[in-house]
Amino acid sequence: MLRVKILRGLQNLAAGLALLAAGRFAFMEAHAWRPALDRASSAPSAAGSPSSAPHGPTDPAEMVKVAAQTREQTLEQFKDELESALPTSAPPPAVQQRHIFVDFGPPRSKVYIAGKLVGQTPFGGQISCVEGRAVEVAVLPDQGAPITRAYECLAGPAPAPSADLSAVLSAGQDVSNLKPPAGR
């Protein structure tokens, strides 16, 4: 039932847009004839009176030329209106692969990263995060209140896929490439 209503609504919207386009086209056609009518009414006719001048060009070649110009102008205006109506889309933020080491909280507490259970403390692993957004890390001990921290995913080079986490940790390198937000 909902699909039928949605389809009918879309059909009504399409019909309305078609009527709007037809009306716009008719208006532009009438507007394009205005200069030709003005020229014809201001030029003296063969009879000598401007009031007996025909409405619009009488030469079929000029009629075709005016109609073609009007269509081109209308199509250009529609094209410009459509381009301005399209939403501008920014590129999606980059997804980063980052090493993380969680060593806060009691040992063997459950570790949740972005709401997903990933292991127990101490936890070391690789996560995916969106550059510039916060990653929430929660440690849930067997007893006591949960400990949560939010870290910002930083831009930078991705870790080597073959990097051994224990070797990186023993070398004292920054493995998280995550930083706590300012004020924490």
Where exactly are the structural domains of the chain? 2-85, 95-179
List of E strands, 19-146: 95-102, 110-113, 116-120, 123-130, 134-140
Q: What is the pTM of this model?
A: 0.41
pLDDT band at 36 (very low <50, low <70, confident <90, very high): low
Nearest to 31 by CA among 70, 63, 65, 78: 70
d(CA 15, CA 18): 5
pLDDT band at 22 (very low <50, low <70, confident <90, very high): confident
Q: What is the pLDDT of residues 42-94, one digit of tens each?
A: 655 544 444 444 566 677 788 788 888 888 888 888 888 877 776 667 677 77
d(CA 178, CA 159): 13
DSSP string, 170-184: HTT-----EEPPTT-
d(CA 123, CA 111): 7
Q: Residue 62 corresponds to which amino acid? A: E
d(CA 25, CA 148): 61
Which pLDDT value is given to residue 117? 93
For residues 78, 79, 82, 83, the Cα torsion angle rounded to the nearest 10 degrees is -150
Instruction: State the average pLDDT over residues 29-43.
Output: 67
Q: What is the pLDDT of residues 147-184, one digit of tens each?
A: 999 888 877 665 555 555 555 444 444 445 555 556 54
User: Is 106 or 94 the better-scoring residue by pLDDT?
Assistant: 106
Burial class, 81, CB count within 10 angstroms (exposed 0-12 / middle 13-18 / buried 19+): exposed
Instruction: Using the predicted structure, report yes or no on whether residue 120 has a pLDDT greater than 90.
Output: yes
Cis, peptide link before residue 44, omega less than 30° from 0: no
Question: Does residue 158 contact residue 97 with C-beta atoms inside 8 Å?
Answer: yes
Query: What tokens were used for 168?
Result: 């990186």
Cα 169 from chain centroid (whole Å)? 40
d(CA 66, CA 73): 11
In sequence order, which residues have a C-beta less than 8 Å from that of residue 103 and are 6 or more positions away? 121, 122, 123
